[in-house]
Structure 1
Amino acid sequence: MARDTKSQVEEFAKQLEQALGENLISLLLYGPAVREEGTGDVATLLILRDAGPRDLRPIESHVNSWTRKKHPPPLIFTEREWRAATDVFPIEIEDMKEAHLLLRGANPLEGIETTRDDLRRELEREVRGKLLQLRAEFAAVASDGKALGTLLVASARTFFVLFRGVLRLVGLTPPPEPLDLVRDIGATTGIDPAAFSWILDKLSGRKVPDLKPHDLDGDRYLEQIERLASFVDSFDLTGSGNGSEPGSSE
């Protein structure tokens, strides 16, 4: 994490702690900023005793200032909501467990457990939904190479979270590095890791050429995400058959 980002995170944590007092239970940093995945979102989880409109007013100006710095607003739960969220957000919870930094309060991940059934359901919903969103955005920007590149990088960051979820679903531990993650998801689902080469180079900070209008890198990326969706749709938790085998073509 860049030094100025660290400073912003600590200042935000201090502001929330002072404004919320005893209403603050936990403040957690998670996501790309902790994983050091390029310049991704600085994502935060905020858990409060009470989160009604009046309870949020003390932090309105601080959250507004935080979002003006181009950071996403924190996910805000009450403690009861958070404890009941394991069946709704297993992908996110397991991802937080693997890469997080406790900023203030108690660790909200202690004692939190998810199930493969819940993970399977959320993966099917999220992968299919994100694929539909990707197609719509792809249709809008494919003729603009620069916009296409921006879309692929932003989309890949989202799908890396889902890649980790898929690996957990099949009983594997996701590797921390994006290059290794793409390699393992390819071996598991049959998607082609080569379709992510431009994105991985871009995220690693290497100098890469801009994409061209209707660039084949964009086409290949979309095709592999479609294959991922097919794998998740056909995955069988009982192990009696998962549709297409990894590496097979249909």
Structure 2
Amino acid sequence: MTRDPLKELERFAEEVSRASGDNLVSLILYGSAARGDFDPERSDLNLLMILREVTPATLRPLGDAVRNWVRRGQPPPWIFSEAGFRASADVFPMEIEDMKEAHRVLRGSSPFGDIKVERTHLRAQLEREARQKLLQLRAHYAATEADGKALSRLVESSFRSFLVVFRALVRVAGEAPPRTPEALVQSASAIAGLDLEAFRWALDRNAGKKVAPLGPYDPIAARYLEAIERLVLHIDSLA
């Protein structure tokens, strides 16, 4: 992570604009930096790049800019052609809904005007993503339960990864996801019938509050895992 990631973001945007010229349709910032809860110590800068044409020849001029961006500790941008992005709403509905809700146009124009996400596609990806994240959580929980520090890191990182699941669940229920993690988890817990307090340690930790680290075999972590298990069962039951 750079010392001034937002300054580096503008530098990257300018490099991409010069390298791509008229082939650049959109460069979009999304994720926590667009939602307003960016933490320079923990958050990434997530970017969507749309080009008129995507070929080896049109990608080559972007090489230096993308390599330098990744070397600074940032994830590589998602790169789509115009046609490819319009056709992706059934494949990446969760990501596209998140982008539509909170984004910042760095260069070019917004690509979301005529993009429509179907509920059936959103629900299908929601189940797949929730199941995958649960499988990962179970495996890491088994491996770290005896180590309080590792268990703390697991619950903290797992919770952040499940925020996208909470947002998608609220959307599938026909509601608008709240912007803050506290309100979002409260809304998702009400929809799925979850124990909100099972997420209290993770919520406080995510908010930067001073909370004691977890200990070995900590019941807080077990309660969190049980709540996630119930969350996935609820998602499975959705029609």
Q: TM-score, normalised by structure 1?
A: 0.89
Q: Tell me the equivalent position of 2:27.
A: 27
Q: Secondary structure at the match of 1:9?
A: helix
Residue-by-residue CA offset, 1:167-195 (whole Å, 9 max, x unaligned) = 11011111101000111111110111111
Q: CA RMSD in A?
A: 1.6
Residue-by-residue CA offset, 1:12-33 (whole Å, 9 max, x unaligned) = 1111111111121111011112
Q: Tell me the equivalent position of 1:246.
A: none
Q: Secondary structure at the match of 1:21?
A: helix
Q: Tell me the equivalent position of 1:184.
A: 187
Q: Secondary structure at the match of 2:49?
A: strand
Name which of 58, 66, 70 aligns with 1:67. 70
Instruction: Give 1:213 shift.
Output: 1.9
Indicate how the Cα distance of structure 1 residues 123 and 66 shifts in structure 2: closer, same or farther if over 3 A, else same. same
Residue-by-residue CA offset, 1:70-120 (whole Å, 9 max, x unaligned) = 211111111111000111111111111111111111101111111111111
Q: Tell me the equivalent position of 1:13.
A: 13
Contact kept, 8 Å, 1:143 with 1:213, in 2: the verdict is yes
Q: Secondary structure at the match of 2:44?
A: coil
Written as runs of structure 1 = structure 2, the 5 A alignment for 1:1-250 is: 4-37=4-37, 38=39, 39-236=42-239
Q: Secondary structure at the match of 1:28?
A: strand
User: Identity of counterpart residues, as a percentage?
Assistant: 49
Rounded Cα–Cα distance in structure 2 between residues aligned with 1:214 and 1:63: 42
Rounded Cα–Cα distance in structure 2 between residues aligned with 1:99 and 1:199: 23
Rounded Cα–Cα distance in structure 1 between residues aligned with 2:33 and 2:217: 31
Structure 1: unaligned runs, 5 residues or longer: 237-250
Rounded Cα–Cα distance in structure 1 between residues aligned with 2:177 and 2:108: 28
Contact kept, 8 Å, 1:40 with 1:157, in 2: the verdict is no
Q: TM-score, normalised by structure 2?
A: 0.93
Rounded Cα–Cα distance in structure 2 between residues aligned with 1:141 and 1:120: 31
Instruction: Give 1:40 shift.
Output: 2.1
Structure 2: unaligned runs, 5 residues or longer: none
Instruction: Give 1:141 shift.
Output: 2.2
Q: Secondary structure at the match of 1:165?
A: helix
